[in-house]
Structure 1
Amino acid sequence: MTVTTPGLHHVTAIAGDPERNASFYVETLGLRFVKRTVNHDDTKTYHFYFGDGEGTPGTNFTFFPWTDRGRRGEFGAGQAQATAYLIEPDSLEYWVDRLESRGVDVEQSQRFGEAVLAFEDPDGIGLELVASEAAAAADAEPWDDSPIPADHQLRGFHSVTLAVPEFAPTASVLTNVLGYELDGESDGRRRYRAAGENPGSVIDLVETDLERGRMGIGTVHHVAFTVTDVEAQERWRDAFSDHGQHVTEVIDRKYFQSIYSREPGGVLFEMATTKPGFTVDESIDELGSRLTLPEWLENERAEIEAHLPPFDHESIGSGEH
C-alpha cells in the first residue's frame, strides 16, 4: 500500500540565548510554549517546542538553544532558507504593524499569488508569514493566553523553503519517496505539494551556489514530515531504502516516534508520528510549565538540571495584547 504524508510535522532549529528565543516566539509571535525538555542526544541542551494552543502537529517550531557562547552557523546549501506560517489574509496589516512596532525588519512580497512577509528571528533564522485562504482550513487550535487575538494567531505551517545545490536530486526524494508533486515554478523557485493539499503541505526548492551550510546558531537542524503511525513509519523506511537513501531505525522521541534520512541535497528529513503527543506527561493546561524528561532520563534529572544553561521560565510572559 502506498504511504503518503499530509505535510509538515515540525521544524527544528538551533537558537542562542534560551530566554531571548522563548520571548520572541511567545511574546512577539504569540505561539504557546508547549514543551520544555532536553535534547535526548545532548542532555546539556534544552529542547523547546512552540506551537498552537495544544501543540498540534504541523504548528510546532522547536529549538535547541546552544546559548550565546555556542558556535554560529553559516547558511548555505543543504539547509532550510525560511520557515513559513499561515495567517488569514485579513491579518496581513496586523502583522506588519506588530512586527515593525517591535523592531523587526519586514519585507513584503507576492509569491504564487499570495502575500508574504519575510523577516528573521533574533538569531537570524528566516521566517515568513503567508496570507493565504488555506489558513481557514488549518487545524491549529487558538491559545487563549496568547498576546495575539485569536483571529490573527498563526495558523500552523504553510511551507518550508529548502536551498539546495540543484533541484533534481532533492525533487526526486520529494516526488518518489514522499509523494509530493510539482505544483508550480516562479522566479527560480519550484513549489512541491503533498497529496491532499492540506495546510503545511508545501515545500519550495531554490537553487544556491553557496557552499554546504555549517550547522550552528541561526540555522535549521532538520525538517519533519507527518506520519500517521508506527506501522506507516516502517513503510517509510522501506520507501527511503528502496530509493537508495540511508535511513535510521525508529527512534523513540517520547512525544512521537521518528526516523531520519538526509536527502541528496543535504537537508536532514525526519518522519514523525502524530502520537502519543504532548499530553503524555502534562495536561493541556500544564503544557510547558515544567522541565519534562523521558522515563529513561528521569534518574539523571538532578545532573541534567545542574548542567542546563540558566533559564527563567517565569520571565516568559504573554507579552502585550
Structure 2
Amino acid sequence: MHTILGHHHISMLTKDAKINNHFYQKVLGLRRVKKTVNQDDPSMYHLFYGDLTGSAGTELSFFEMPIVGNTIRGTNAITQIGLLVPSYESLIYWKERFETLEVTHGEITTYAGRDALHFEDSEGLRMVLLNNNGEAVPKKWSAWEDSIIEQQHRILGMGAVEITVRHLDRLGKTLTEMFGYTEVARSDQEAIYQSVAGQSFGEIVIKQLDGPREKPGRGSIHHLAIRVKNEDELRNWETVVKERGFHTSGIVNRFYFQSLYFRESNGILFEIATDGPGFTVDSSIEALGKELDLPPFLEERRAEIEANLIPLD
C-alpha cells in the first residue's frame, strides 16, 4: 500500500536572502543545508534550512524575490508552519530568546492540541513552536550538533501545517479520499488531519474562511511538499492524482528529489516529493550549504549565475 510519510518540505518567498539567512541560522539555529538557485529561474536564490542533512520533514525552503511586495493576508493559502520542539520547557526557553532578540511572538498557549508559542520571522511569516512532548519523530531526522541552540531545546522538524480555505470539506476529502489522511478532530470551522496516525510531523490543520484570496508577498508560503519513499511510489501518486481529475506537472527531476505538482480545488499548490537522493548527492555532510550548488543542467551557466547573485556570507 502506498502511503504519505509526512511532510517533505515547505517553500516560502523572501525579499532579502541575507536577512532570511541570518534569521534561520542565527535566530532559529537551523542549518543551511543547501545554497542553490530556483531551477526554473536561476536568477534567484533557493535556500534550504533543516537538520544535519536536510532530512525530509525538516526542510524550510525560500525563494528570494527582491521585487516582491507585502503579503495581503486572506483565504485559500497556506497560512502557518508548525515547528516541533522537545518540551514545554523549550517553549519557555524560546519565549525568553524571542524577547531578547526582539522577535515578534505571543504568549504560550495551545494549538492543534499541543502547547504552543506563535511567532513571526522578520518578514511576517507566521510560525508556531509546538511541544513534541517526547514523542517519536522520523528515524531519518538527525540533529545538527553545531547549532547555536542548546541541545535540549533545538527545533526538531516540521509539525502541523495550517491551510486556510473557503471550502474545508473539499480539501479534507482530497486528503482523506485520495491520500489516505485521517481526520482526527473537527469543530465548526476547523479540522485536523494526519498522514501518520498520532504523529504531528504529518499533520495538516484546515481552517475555513470566506473572503478574498491571499495575495502572496514576502513571508508568504508558496507550497507544501508531502513525502513519499521513492520514484515508483511517486508514479503511482501521479496516476491517482490524475484519476481524481487534477491537472499535474508530470514528474519533475529536481536533482535532490523527484517531484510532482498539482493544485487542489481551492487553489492550494501541493508538491509530492521523494525522499532521495537528498542534499548529499553533490556535497559531503560537512560541506552542506557552504558553497553554491547547482544541478548538472545548470553547471555550465555557473559563472553567469554567480555574477547575478549577491553573496550571503
When normalised by structure 1's length, the TM-score is 0.93
Which structure 2 residues correspond to residues 50-69 of structure 1 after superposition, within 5 A?
Answer: 50-67=49-66, 69=67
Residue type of the alignment partner of 1:259: L
The one-character-per-residue Cα deviations of 1:205-248 (angstroms, maximum 9, x if unpaired) are: 00112311223222101000001000000110111111111112
Identity of aligned residues (%): 35
Which stretches in structure 1 are left out of the alignment for 5+ residues?
314-321
Deviations 1:163-201 (A, max 9, x none): 101211111111111111110124732100113444411
Check whether the contact 1:138–1:199 (CA below 8 A) recurs between aligned residues.
Answer: no
Work out whether residues 135 and 199 of structure 1, in 8 Å CA contact, stay in contact via their aligned partners in 2: no
* Aligned twin of 1:47: 46
Alignment-mate amino acid for residue 148 of structure 1: I
Contact kept? 2:77, 2:268, Cα under 8 Å = yes
Aligned to 2:130: 130
Where do 4+ consecutive residues of structure 1 move more than 6 Å? none
2:82 to 81, 84, 96: 84
Letter in 2 for 1:12: S
Residue 120 (structure 1) aligned with residue 128 (structure 2): no
Q: Give yes or no for contact 2:33–2:289 (8 Å, CA) kept in 1.
A: yes
Asked if the contact 2:32–2:50 (Cα under 8 Å) also holds between the matched residues in 1, the reply is yes
Q: Compute the displacement of 1:75 (Å).
A: 2.5
CA distance in 2 between counterparts of 1:137 and 1:8 reads 12
Distance in 1, matches of 2:126 and 2:216, equals 15
Letter paired with 2:73: F
Contact kept in structure 1, 2:12 and 2:63, CA below 8 Å: yes
The answer for the alignment partner of 1:278 in structure 2 is: 279
2:232 corresponds to? 231
**Distance between the aligned counterparts of 1:204 and 1:244, measured in 2?**
24
Structure 2 regions of 5+ residues with no counterpart?
Answer: none
**1:71-117: CA deviations, max 9, x gaps?**
33322222111000111123121111111111012223213431111
Residue pairs, 1:11-160, within 5 angstroms: 11-67=10-66, 69-89=67-87, 90-107=89-106, 108-133=108-133, 135-139=135-139, 140-160=141-161
* Equivalent position of 1:312 in the other structure: 312
> CA offsets, 1:105-139, max 9 Å, x none?
22232134311111111111111100122654344
Match of 1:9 in 2: 8
1:143 counterpart SS class: coil
Q: Distance in 1 between matches of 2:113 and 2:277?
A: 37
Give how far 1:270 is off: 0.2
Structure-2 residue corresponding to 1:175: 176
1:282: Cα distance to partner?
0.6
* Amino acid corresponding to residue 126 of structure 2 in structure 1: G
The alpha-carbon distance between structure 1 residues 136 and 101, as it changes in their structure 2 partners (threshold 3 A), is farther
Partner AA of 2:45 in structure 1: Y
CA distance in 2 between partners of 1:113 and 1:222 (Å):
24
SS at match of 1:46: strand
Contact 1:109-1:116 within 8 A present in 2 as well: yes
Aligned residue in 2 for 1:166: 167
RMSD: 1.5
Kept after mapping to 2: 8 A contact 1:189/1:204: yes
Return the letter of the residue paired with 1:118. Answer: H
The number of residue pairs the alignment matches comes to: 310
Question: Relative to structure 2, which stretch is displaced further, 70-79 or 53-62?
Answer: 70-79
